[in-house]
Structure 1
Amino acid sequence: MTDTPAPLAVRAAPPSHVPLPGADLGLTWRAASLDDAAAIAALKVRSQEADGLPYRSSDAEVSEELTSEWRDLRLDTLAGFDADGTLRAWAQADTAPGDERVVRAFVEGTVDPQWRGRGVGTALVAWSQARARQLLAASGKELPARIATFTDDAAPGVAQVYRAAGFTPIRYYTHMRRPLDVPLPEVPQIAGLRVVPWSAELDDQVRLAHNEVFADHWGSEPRTPEQWRAARAMFAPTWSFVALDGADHVVGYAVSGRYEQDWPAAGYPSGYTELLGVRREWRGRRVAVALLATVMQAYAADGMHYAELEVDTDNPSGAHGMYAALGYEVAHSSTMLTIEL
């Protein structure tokens, strides 16, 4: 006989109130608003520069996060300002409304490099974990639950703060890149399939295909139309493509992003393949290769130096090996740390 798990409201152990960090940290605390987007992006960039990371946050990305339809900024965000009114610390907790297998709350925080080593990061993690527990308990979903964060392996100090708060590594990701100044792979011709540019008319079909394709991938959950629309700040439609069968059904897709703010830090312009998927019945027929080869051609035609993407090292489809065979190499890596409930 298997034990029945305790209700999520019990497992999550949510506090009745999430207090602000103490005044002894030297900052004034309040919830963030959309007006803070530029200051939050600037804070993230200062931290990324200090850690030597090859990417930068943008105002547009932060604004998109803050305007998600399911967010309550009054409760889900925290901003700490110094005596001069400069943002020195930031944290948030967010949910994913489409979750059906594991209900998740994602947390993140940033401390200004000049304010590290004072306990601010520890306070941010404590606050965000408490709020995440409230969000999970309020979800109404009696499912396994997870509080999660992503940390760049080039900034191990961040992971240390989360680990001290009870988070443990659970999944590892590699960021891969492929030079475009060497011969590109040919686009294989596949009977009964054609690759076409992304269009607004196909967009929801792509969303539904993505939900189906990733149903067997660890950590992936269905995306609602609202979630799908809320991930478009860096979307590059002219670099995105869809594979259709003879009945014009979506059987595969490659969705790209254009992260121009990253290029000076990385040292080169690039196209980033955000999402790549092929329906199960079409796997093993080089559909993914056709999509990636098409994407590479589009990047190269616009003067990009690299094609980039990220992959779960335990991806069940063997994607890591396919990318390597196409010339992608590991550039850097990141880790997901979680508290499983």
Structure 2
Amino acid sequence: MELVWRPLTTADIPEVAALYNAAEAVDDTGELLSEEDFAESFGRTDLPVGSLGAVADSQLVAYGLLAPRDQPVGAHRLRLDGLVHPAFRRRGIGRLLLLKLAALARELHSARHPDLPLVVTTMVESRCSGHVALVEGLGFTADRHFHELEVALGESLAQVPPPAGYEVVPFSAARSEEVRQVCNAAFARHWGSTDRSPQEWAASFTDSARFVPESSFLALHEGAVVGFVLARHYPVVEEMTGVRELWIGDVGTLEEHRGRGVASGLLSWTLAQGAAAGFHRAGISVDSANSDGALGVYERAGFGVVRTWVDYGVPVDCRR
């Protein structure tokens, strides 16, 4: 079998989505994506240099995308995303794909952030033993574990009011820039977090078709934003499972307002409003080593762990 490697274009989106969902049917990671979701991913990718496809007999058998950071601090953790079609696995294609993506990452990094060290990373669902063996065999090490949690939305949800002196209000476009700055400040000390530029913020939230502003809420103290819950909805999950899921993309509180129940009150309100809006469940992801007690907040709200993802990384020498 002869492989032809080439950059991807937006015309490849339908075939990439079909390959992804064929793999998901086997891997069962719980991550369901549509063509529209990949269109957003392609929009954030530096095409053509940040992509790669492997074609055999006119069929796309593997793909890869690079996700660089706009404003990295300390080191540039550049993520590699990609998959091999299940029918073409165990032939060394995945190993070759990762090596080629790492080479592309080196070039992209050198053009954008040459003064920082480069770490190429990839996310692996912990039960995908073949994927784990592949990345570990190439020298990647597990840097962090992220739990994915879910809670059914219904009348049994605990109701936690916001603390005295705080007000919960819906997200509004007029406060978007304020929320971006508060989000950057709230996550400043979180592992692997970097400030979101206005462009990244727009791509993730205000310009994203997956952002649900009416199910996103802010905590105000003396009229200023001090906390937030920002939600997304992926229609493909409902289409493929019948479950309408509210995905909690970001939860945060400014450091000086932590420990007062702000996040618990915000989250409780968001879940109650999500249930009223017809969502069947909510999902969220949390760093297992989060030092702010986020996992406990989510578990007290009724969430339970359903799977774990591992953030693998390996330093890459960019010296010529």
What interval of TM-score do these two structures reach, taking the shorter chain for normalisation? over 0.9
Paired residue secondary structure (1:35): helix
Partner SS, residue 291 of structure 1 = helix
- 1:41 aligns with 17
User: Within 1, Cα distance between the matches of 2:2 and 2:132?
Assistant: 24
Q: 1:137 aligns with which of 105, 110, 116?
A: 110
| 1:67-105 Cα shifts (integer Å, max 9, x gaps) | 22xx4312111112221x222110122211121232221
Please, which of 205, 209, 214 is the counterpart of residue 238 of structure 1?
214
Residues 160 and 99 (structure 1), Cα distance of their counterparts in 2 relative to 1, 3 Å cut: same
Q: Are 1:206 and 2:179 matched, yes or no?
A: yes
* Alpha-carbon offset, residue 265 of structure 1: 5.0
Instruction: Report how far residue 168 of structure 1 moved.
Output: 0.9
Q: Which residue of 2 aligns with 1:312?
A: 287
Per the alignment, residue 88 of structure 1 pairs with 61
* Helix, strand or coil at the partner of 1:207: helix
Aligned to 1:333: 308
Which residue, out of 188, 203, 214, partners 2:161? 188
- The aligned amino acid for 1:75 is V
- Alignment RMSD, CA only? 1.7
Going from structure 1 to structure 2, the CA distance change for 1:106 and 1:233 (only over 3 Å counts) comes to farther
| 1:63 and 2:39 aligned | yes
Residue 146 of structure 1 deviates from its aligned partner by 1.7
Contact 2:149 2:285 in 1 (8 A): yes
SS at match of 1:74: coil
Residue in 1 aligned with 2:245?
270
Other structure's SS at 2:188 match: helix
**Would the aligned equivalents of 1:239 and 1:255 in 2 still touch at CA under 8 Å?**
yes
| CA positional deviation for 1:137 | 2.6
Cα distance 1:141–1:223, how it changes in 2: closer, same or farther (>3 A)? farther
Equivalent position SS for 2:54: strand
TM-score of the pair, normalised by structure 2: 0.92
Q: CA deviation at 1:43?
A: 1.0
Q: What is aligned with 2:136? A: 163
**1:12-51 matched pairs, under 5 angstroms:** 25-51=1-27
Report the CA distance between 1:340 and its aligned residue.
Answer: 3.1
Q: Note if contact 2:162-2:266 (Cα within 8 Å) is conserved in structure 1.
A: no
Query: What is the TM-score with the length of structure 1 in the denominator?
Result: 0.87
1:228 maps to which of 190, 201, 204: 201
Matched, 1:259 2:234: yes
2 CA distance for matches of 1:130 and 1:43? 23
C-alpha displacement of 1:164: 1.4
Structure 1 residue 182: Cα displacement: 4.3
* 1:77 and 2:77 are equivalent in the alignment: no
State how far apart, in whole Å, the 2-side matches of 1:269 and 1:55 are.
Answer: 14
The unaligned stretches of length 5 or more in structure 2 are none
Tell me if structure 2 keeps the 8 A contact 1:197–1:242. Answer: yes
Q: Identify which range, 229-238 or 113-122, moves more after superposition.
A: 229-238
Provide the secondary structure at the position in 1 that maps to 2:82. strand
Matched positions, count: 313
One-letter code aligned to 1:50: V
Secondary structure at 1:201 match in 2: helix
Q: What residue identity is the alignment partner of 1:218? A: W
Cα distance in 2 for partners of 1:89, 1:197 equals 42
1:117 is aligned to 90
Percent of residue pairs identical: 31
| Partner SS state of residue 108, structure 1 | strand
Structure 2 residue 173 is matched with structure 1 residue 197? no
User: Post-superposition shift, 1:28?
Assistant: 2.3
For the residues of structure 1 that align with 2:304 and 2:46, how far apart are their CA atoms?
Answer: 40
AA at the equivalent of 1:214: F
Match of 1:11 in 2: none
| Aligned-residue offset at 1:264 | 5.4
For residue 280 of structure 1, what is the amino acid of its counterpart?
E
Describe the shift of the 1:325–1:72 C-alpha distance in structure 2 as closer, same or farther (beyond 3 A).
closer
Runs of 5+ unmatched residues, structure 1: 1-24
